[in-house]
Every structure is written in structure tokens, then in C-alpha cells.
Structure 1
């Protein structure tokens, strides 16, 4: 009897959780990810190339951001600035879509379906962390492909013909494990999204509390853009080192045996600054990208959710 009651209780809990799943968040998140990626992908290419330049491998070296753009354009054309754009579009679209979907589902579940109930900072942090872990496990193979395509510098070293070819070749030569290179630092990096979402939600909540308005009140574009920029800057500045480690581990023929070895070698040969290579380029890309993504998401989700209010 107890087993039957437990089963019913679990089933009821699962059905309650699933009732909070809203596809509108998925569509709005995908739209935001696609928009920011199409506009800012060249910055991502340059950021990755700076991040993997450890001074030990034979990769092109650039004297600065402007030099990187001009060199890539001169030697590889506009195509060079958009290397890896296909998996980046797939990865960004699916990642943002899934992240917003899972985050809002978990958040609404914690709220008990009451969208007017503000959550505490640690609750936002926990919901974003759980959403981030699930999203990463589902999308890591796409990010591995994107990183490797971005690091194909010229014809002699072009190992992969495209996204599908990369997926096939990685599986043939490295197996399933190849799709999950950089997963460990990626899991640590979930803290990045968690911090970002916590800051973003708290900024909105505190702003609405100051104005004595509901937390679901639609804000102006300038307000969404400002809150997105502040939250992204805080998250990026505090969690950037994991991105350097992750990119180096995902590189084909990686010179490191694992996460610990990569951290030790980077610290030994490059010092503390080695963990922040490409940070200025990263901020130049991710802050505007987040502003575009969140602005797109907020506006589209409000339009899609309006009939349900």
C-alpha cells in the first residue's frame, strides 16, 4: 500500500513539474541565441584563438584585437571570421533555448506556480545551476565541434570539412569521449550562468521592488539591456579561467593530459595572466551578445506568453 502511495505521489509530483514547462521560453531563448551569434560570431573566433595561444604550439600569433581581425581577413577572407558559425548557431540557439526553458520551469516549480512570488538569490542560483548542468550535458558535443572548426587556420590544417564531418570524424577517432572533452571545466563553468542569472533576476526584482511594481512587469529595452550587461560583466570577470582551460582541452591534439595538468602547465609557463588570455575580447563579445540575447528573449517571451496571462 505504501509503495502504491509513494508511486502516486511521485507521479503527481512529476506531472506538477511538467505542467510548468512552457515552450514559449524555448522559442524565445533560441531566437535570442541565434540573433546574438549571427551578429557577433567573428569576435568569438578571435577570442578562441587568443585563449588557446599558450606559446608552446605553432598557431598564428596576433599582436592585438585589430591585428587579429585584419590578419584573419587577409589570409582567410570573411569565411575565416565565420569559421565554426554553423555549430555555433546550433549550439547557441539550443543552449539558450534549453537554458531558458529549464530555468523557468524549475523557477516556476519552486514558486509553486505563483509567478508573482520573488525568489531568494540562492534559489535563483540553484535553479540556474540545475538548468546549466542539464543543458551542458545535452550540448557539449556541439561546442567541441565549434571550437575545433574555429581553430582551423588554413587549408593544410583543415581536418574537418564542416559540422557533420567533424561530428563523424570525432566519433571515429575518439569515440563518445571526444564529444565530451572539456566537460569537467564546463561543469565548473555552470557557475558562470548561475551567477549571471542570479544577478540578472536580482537586479530586476530589486528594481521592481523600488518602483513598487510586479516582478513580471515588462521593463523598457534600456532597462533589460543595462541589467543584462551588468550581470554578464560580473559573471564573466569571476569565471573566465575555466573557459581558457576548456578551450585548450577541446583543441585537437591537445598538449594536456587533463584538467589538472592544463591548470598546472598554464600557471607554470604563463602565470596568473595565462588564465585570462582573451578576456578583453571575451568581454567585448559576451556583454553585447548577452544584451542582444536577453533583450530578444524578454520581448519575444512577453509576446508569446501574453495570451496565457
Structure 2
């Protein structure tokens, strides 16, 4: 087993792991919020291969590239437009980080306890633990993810007046199932993504740490997180686009910034519809900014997690030493 695997699985109590994961999620979300809004806007943009649909009198797509989308949002909605949906997103990242790291630690320790010949090698353990952690965290926080997407999809004209109003409206007009639109795509995406991410991170971390030229300020964790995130994100990106398209279904579908979003009913049919009417490029719309977002998000998450855990362990050791001194 690699040293990286041991560090994530054995350092800290379950409560410390949850706390460090929560802090990491909060910090990460604040850093990448503007890129997240840009990515969602691009993913929801429909541009038919045969008939470029119009939007508010504009032929074809209204957003053209990451920089173009950034400029348009700033021009039409101001700086705060880049943080639309940030309240539910912060709550989501807080809960997601806590559940994710707690589930990862719990599942990985269960797998390590398996007796031969059922024991698994380190990479398989990391993959399964990461996949299970991702599925658990995604399901637990999915309503917040859906609310984040719907607020980010709002343009200059507000669809929901507030977070409370949005929750009441969805509950009244779509029922409990409305909060879980696209969950199938979310779990289908996150299981391979998190499995690949954690396996890649655990494998790359000791490699980056052993480089002949050490990286400063603990950035070997960040570098490993970036590389693992880019590889895994690209592999599952079409499912991420599918999830976003499904999340904005419902009675308010035609009132978002993109008023021409088609009616979708399921994961497979959505994938097929996008592929048929928008081509392969439609499945990867917003991938560039998605990678720009995923890389710093993963780097900040893992770096913050490692630093927060180190601080808590140091404080615990100092407190234990102080108690020992008093007892002596």
C-alpha cells in the first residue's frame, strides 16, 4: 500500500476527517464559483447542427467560449452574476466534502479488513472507496446541487426570487422527485469519476512527493489532485452535461437564460438527443472551462484537506502533551 493511501485512511478520527473535508469543500467552492457559473451556462446552451436556434433575437449561441461568456455575464449581470447559486453551492460543498471524506475513510478501512483471499490491492481499494464515497455524497447533497444549477442558469431576469421561494415552488409543482431530477446521471458520472480520481490521486501523490526537485508549500498534493482531476473529468464529462440539462427540466424550463432547452426525460435519451442534434461537441460543451474549474477545485480541496488535517492532528498532539505534563 502506498504512503498516500495510508495518510488519507489512517490519519485522524472520523470526526476530524469530516471536519477537514467540510473545510476543504467550503474553500474550494469559493475559489471556483465563477468558473462553475460559466460552465453551467455553456452546458445548457443548445446549438442545433441543422437549425441554430435563436435566443431573444440572437441567432445561434449567445455565449462564445470561456472569455466571451465571462465578458457577457459581467456586462449584463455584473460581478455578482458570477456567484449566482453560491448559497446552495456552499451548503452543498460543505456537506459534500464532509460526507465524501468520511465515506472514503469508512469504506477503505472496511475493504482493508477483508481477509485473504478477498483482500484487494491498493489501487482497487482506492477506486472502490472513491466510487462509493462519491455516490454517497452525491445522493446526500443532490437537492442542493439542483438548486445551484437552477440559480446559475438564471440570466438578468430572475426565475426564483429567493432560495426559500425556489424550494417551495419545486415542492409544490414538481414534488419530492423534482429535487432529484438527473440523479441517475449524477451517480453514473460520479462513481467512475471519483473512483478514477482517488485512485489517480493516491498513485500520483507519492510520485510527486518523491520528485528530485521538491515542490514548495506542499504543492505535491495540489499537483497530484490536478492531474487526477483532469484525467477523470474528461472521461465522464458527457454525463455531467446530461445531468445539467436534466436539472433544469420542469415548469420553469423556458424561463432560464437559455429559453430553448429541449424537453428531456432520461439519461440515455438525453445523451442520444444531444449527440443527434448537437453532435459530439454538444456533449463536451464547456469542457475547457470545466477542466479549468476542476483542476484548481481538486487542487484546493486536497491541499486544504491535508493542511486542515495536519493542523487538527498537531493541536491534538499538543493538547495530549499538555495533559500528560499536568498529570506528571
Band the TM-score falls in, shorter-chain normalisation? 0.7 to 0.9
The superposition leaves residues 63-122 of structure 1 with CA deviations (integer Å, 9 ceiling, x where unpaired) of: 222121111111111121111011111111211121011101222333349xxx995211
Cα distance, 1:149 vs. partner?
0.4
Partner in structure 2 of residue 76 of structure 1: 77
Cα distance, 1:304 vs. partner?
1.6
Q: TM-score, normalized by length of structure 1? A: 0.83
Alignment of structure 1 residues 70-109 onto 2, 5 Å: 70-109=71-110
Structure 1 residue runs without a partner (length 5+): 1-19, 212-218
Partner in structure 1 of residue 149 of structure 2: 147
1:104 and 1:164 map into 2 onto residues whose CA distance is 34
User: In terms of mean alpha carbon deviation, does 144-153 or 127-136 score higher?
Assistant: 127-136
The superposition leaves residues 113-135 of structure 1 with CA deviations (integer Å, 9 ceiling, x where unpaired) of: 9xxx9952111111111112211
- Residue 30 in 1 paired to residue 22 in 2? yes
Aligned residues: 277
Partner in structure 2 of residue 6 of structure 1: none
Partner in structure 2 of residue 180 of structure 1: 180
Alignment of structure 1 residues 249-264 onto 2, 5 Å: 249-252=246-249, 253=253, 255-264=263-272
Partner in structure 1 of residue 123 of structure 2: 121
Q: TM-score, normalized by length of structure 2? A: 0.78
* Contact 1:62/1:68 (<8 A) preserved: yes
- The Cα RMSD (Å) is 2.4
1:73 and 1:154 map into 2 onto residues whose CA distance is 11
Cα distance, 1:288 vs. partner?
0.8
Partner in structure 2 of residue 159 of structure 1: 159
Partner in structure 2 of residue 224 of structure 1: 221
Residue among 291, 303, 306 paired with 1:295: 303
User: In terms of mean alpha carbon deviation, does 233-242 or 198-207 score higher?
Assistant: 198-207
Alignment of structure 1 residues 57-76 onto 2, 5 Å: 58=55, 61-76=62-77
Structure 2 residue runs without a partner (length 5+): 1-11, 48-52, 254-261, 321-328
1:262 and 1:203 map into 2 onto residues whose CA distance is 35
1:58 and 1:95 map into 2 onto residues whose CA distance is 35
